[in-house]
Structure 1
Amino acid sequence: MKPLIIIESPSNLGLKESAQGKEPGVSKLPQHLKKHGLYDKLNPAQIIHLAAPPYSSQFDEASGVLNAYKIAEYAKVQAQELKRVLSTDSFPVVIGGDCSILIGNALALKELGNYGLMYLDGHTDFVLPSMSQTGGAAGMDLAIVTGHGHPKLTNIHQLEPYFEEENVWCIGNRYWDPEYVGLIQSSQIEYVPLSHLREMGIDTLLSLFFMHIEAKNGMVSGFISM
């Protein structure tokens, strides 16, 4: 067994304020999970804490995304640390934070090679800034890591896209608005909504995903985000 290392990335930058002047609470997730015993069960060899930039709700006009500059800079920090952990032949578990932390993980993996992504979420997060009601990157992260959106986030270090659409599976969406779902259905992403997930079961889908990865003849490695 590889040593397991937890990387805490407690960023709120991808979310709008939960109320006027009130910061979202997802930055508390690592300490909450630790309090309720997850860390004891995982028994990590090391816990790494990556302090996120201070929260703000600054709208970036160029990208149409809240806190775009801070998210990009934090992604670079995350990528550097994840690459270092992977170089030690350890098994990293990254705990957020909002979904925008996927950008830093994706950047690290693209710098190391070619990876596929299984994205398990109650939403697709495959939305363009023009469709977003909040401007939050946490609702656009799957689009961003597959190269859709402004280069500030999609093309860090000129590595766009971090994941090729044909190597991405999006599983578990429970928001069935036709316009919302239509965008991902028109992509090359393998889309499995919540209803199909319940029918097939997660074990079957995991097996199919890794069969897809293996069919690439070692050219693609797997990565799972939840």
Structure 2
Amino acid sequence: MKRNIDIFEFPLNLGLKKKDHETEPGVKKLPEWLRKFGFHKEINPASIFRLEAPDYSMEPDQESGVLNAKALIEYAQNQADFILDHYTEKTFNIMLGGDCSILIGTAIALKKLGNFGLFYLDGHTDFIPAHLSETSAAAGMDLAIITGTGHEKLTDIQGLQPYFSEENIYCAGNAETDDDEYVAQILHSDIHYFDIDQLRKNGFSKTAENFLKMISSKTLDGFFIHLDVDVLHDKIMPAVDSRMEDGIDYENLKDILKPLIHSPLCFGIEITVLDPDYDKNGTYTQAFVKNLIQIIKNKED
């Protein structure tokens, strides 16, 4: 990659409901965990920025039906301002979560910068209203929130709804395909949707290329990539909050991400939901770091 790279650390875990055995979700440790296994050193960013997150809680919000809504909204606004204050034009930005709800703050920032597309690569759609969520956690409905589905407290922060237009989004990789009501939500949207089987059928490189053609044809200002590591097959990445057996492998990941990351229109990528508590020895993280660096640096094995 010829562009400078900046790393933004957003160690937020308020978008997840903690499990019974947890004190709190461990995804907040993700930036330090990747640093431990050489990610920051290999990337060699021009700058590293970090926005600390509030202490974990599971505060219900009756209005929106979303856990920790008040704190999430405040963090999203601070995050958006933080990005706008620190980003540099023509720099590639790596956002390290945290959980998927960090997308809300980035989405607000990008809405203020122009009209952007989104490539949403995830083992789930995260496109459901709060009343269909079993956990009431924002990380399971962030794609819905950023496109305007849900309570306006979250979807219309600063009067900017929608942060991304549905028709400018590709959602790819969903493996939770056996719940018809869950899938129906995104099928009835204008989002370009490819579940795990459709993604394989369409081709990983071809799906990325089609997305880039769409961005170009609509003359958008750029696009952003969301990568939830639970899109990877459970055999190679079980260290996630909501495990799914099926998923893509690292060759698939390279095929789909390389054309996207190396497009000059790519604002950046966010990495979410890798939980160090579920990878005590770093076995799965080391493989992930190695492959992600190869993709970003455009290196071969």
The bucket for the TM-score relative to the shorter chain is over 0.9
Give the CA deviation at 1:20. Answer: 6.1
Aligned length: 225
- Could you say if the C-alpha distance between residues 26 and 88 of structure 1 is closer, same or farther in structure 2, counting changes exceeding 3 Å? same
Q: CA deviation at 1:38?
A: 1.6
For residue 13 of structure 1, what is the aligned residue in structure 2?
Answer: 14
Counterpart in 1 of 2:298?
Answer: none
Cα distance in 1, alignment partners of residues 38 and 196 from structure 2: 28
Normalising by structure 1, what TM-score?
0.95
Identity %: 49
Question: Which whole-Å deviations, capped at 9, do the CAs of 1:159-182 have from their partners, x for residues lacking one?
Answer: 000011111110000001111001
TM-score under structure 2 normalisation?
0.72
**Is the partner of 1:135 in helix, strand or coil?**
coil
- 2:202 corresponds to 1:208: no
AA partner of residue 199 (structure 2): L
Correspondence for 2:277: none
1:118 corresponds to? 119
* Residue of structure 2 equivalent to 1:101: 102
Instruction: Report the equivalent of 2:182.
Output: 180
Aligned to 2:50: 49
For 1:66, what is the secondary structure of its paired residue? coil
Map of 1:159 onto structure 2:
160
**1:208 partner amino acid:** N
Partner of 1:222: 223
Checking the alignment, whether the CA contact within 8 Å between 1:30 and 1:95 is kept in structure 2 is yes
Q: Which structure 1 residue ranges, 5 or more long, are not aligned?
A: none
1:28 deviation in Å? Answer: 0.8
Query: CA separation in 1, counterparts of 2:138 and 2:21?
Result: 19
* Aligned-partner Cα distance in 2 for 1:183–1:6: 33
After TM superposition, the structure 1 stretch with the greater mean CA deviation from structure 2, 195-204 or 69-78, is 195-204
Distance in 2, matches of 1:57 and 1:151, equals: 20
- Trace 1:19-58 onto structure 2 (pairs within 5 A): 19=20, 22-58=23-59
Query: Pairwise CA RMSD of aligned residues?
Result: 1.3
Separation of aligned partners in 2, 1:37 and 1:21 = 27
Residues of 2 paired with 1:135 and 1:103: CA distance?
A: 16
2:76 and 2:104 in contact (8 A); partners too: yes
Q: Which ranges in structure 2 are unaligned for 5 or more consecutive residues?
A: 228-301
2:76 corresponds to: 75
